[in-house]
Amino acid sequence: MSVRAVAVEAYREGLPALAASVLGGLLAGVVLGGMRGDFARVDGLLVLVPALLATRGNVYGSLGARLATGLHQGLVAPRVRGDSRLYRAVAAALANGLLASAFAAVAATLVLAGLARPVAPLPVLVAIALLAGLLSGVVLSLSVVVVVFAGYRRGYNPDTLVGPIVTTAGDVFGVAFLLLSVRLVLAVAGGG
């Protein structure tokens, strides 16, 4: 193939997935734009944002890739009920997502304290990260499983579905549940 043919094909194949991630990113940005007050109240929260969003992509992207491979190999059937392999894969994703979220909160607190930059109390940041990780994890696991199985049954290659879905849903749910978690934790902690 000529350079031109390669470039045109790559561009055509890439544009829909990129458009989906742009849409998800802009929606996430709107929620983030509405959280300016929260960032001002909880020092260090903004530093956590890239780590929390990337964890969603890394963990649930990996879950999607695992399910896609499992379907191709006949290890899992595209049914939600009664498959202990599927339950274990989802449980592992949730557990790893929660561990990475808590780890991010602890690491951010330590680094900010080390740099003598202002940072909220560790329990507040850990509680926010865990709650946001749990809520977005449940919703993202469901989305990945439903979309990969439904796509597979309709004859789509699940590998090409996973990337755009996880990026788009991960950004939107990641930020939306972060907002909810901050407000809940601050309310419980006595108004911050």
Partner 1 sequence: MPTDWTVRAITRAMLPVLLALTLVEIGSGLVLGGFEAELLSSPSLLVLVPVTIGTAGTLGSMLAARLSTSFHLGTLSLSPDDDVLVGNALATVGLSVTVFPVIGVGAWLLAAVTTGTTLPLVRVYAVAQVSGLALAVLAVAVTVGATAAAYRFELDPDDVVIPVVTNVCDVLGVVVLFLSVRLLV
**Which chain residues interact with partner 1 by CB under 8 A?**
1-11, 14-15, 17-19, 21-22, 24-26, 28-30, 32-34, 36, 39-40, 44, 46-51, 53-55, 57-59, 62, 66, 69-70, 75, 85, 88-89, 91-93, 95-96, 99-100, 103-104, 107-108, 111-112, 115, 117, 163, 167, 171, 175
Instruction: Between 53 and 144, name the residue whose CB sits nearer to partner 1.
Output: 53
- In whole angstroms, how close is the CB of 10 to partner 1 at the nearest point? 4
Contact 71, 98 (CB under 8 A): no
How many CB atoms lie under 10 A from the CB of residue 67?
Answer: 26
**CA atoms 93, 152, 72, 54: torsion sign:** negative
Distance CA 165, CA 21 (A): 8
Instruction: Between 33 and 190, name the residue whose CB sits nearer to partner 1.
Output: 33
- In whole angstroms, how close is the CB of 56 to partner 1 at the nearest point? 11
Q: What's the gap between Cα 6 and its chain centre?
A: 32
Contact 170, 53 (CB under 8 A): yes
- In whole angstroms, how close is the CB of 36 to partner 1 at the nearest point? 5
- In whole angstroms, how close is the CB of 177 to partner 1 at the nearest point? 14
Alpha-helix residue ranges (DSSP H) falling in 34-157: 36-41, 45-73, 84-114, 122-153
Instruction: Between 13 and 188, name the residue whose CB sits nearer to partner 1.
Output: 13
Q: Which two tokens stand for residue 50?
A: 């890239």
- In whole angstroms, how close is the CB of 157 to partner 1 at the nearest point? 12
Distance CA 96, CA 108 (A): 18
Instruction: Between 2 and 191, name the residue whose CB sits nearer to partner 1.
Output: 2
Instruction: Between 129 and 135, name the residue whose CB sits nearer to partner 1.
Output: 129
Give, as one character, the DSSP assignment of residue 120: -
Instruction: Between 4 and 154, name the residue whose CB sits nearer to partner 1.
Output: 4
- In whole angstroms, how close is the CB of 39 to partner 1 at the nearest point? 6
Which residue type occupies 79?
A: R
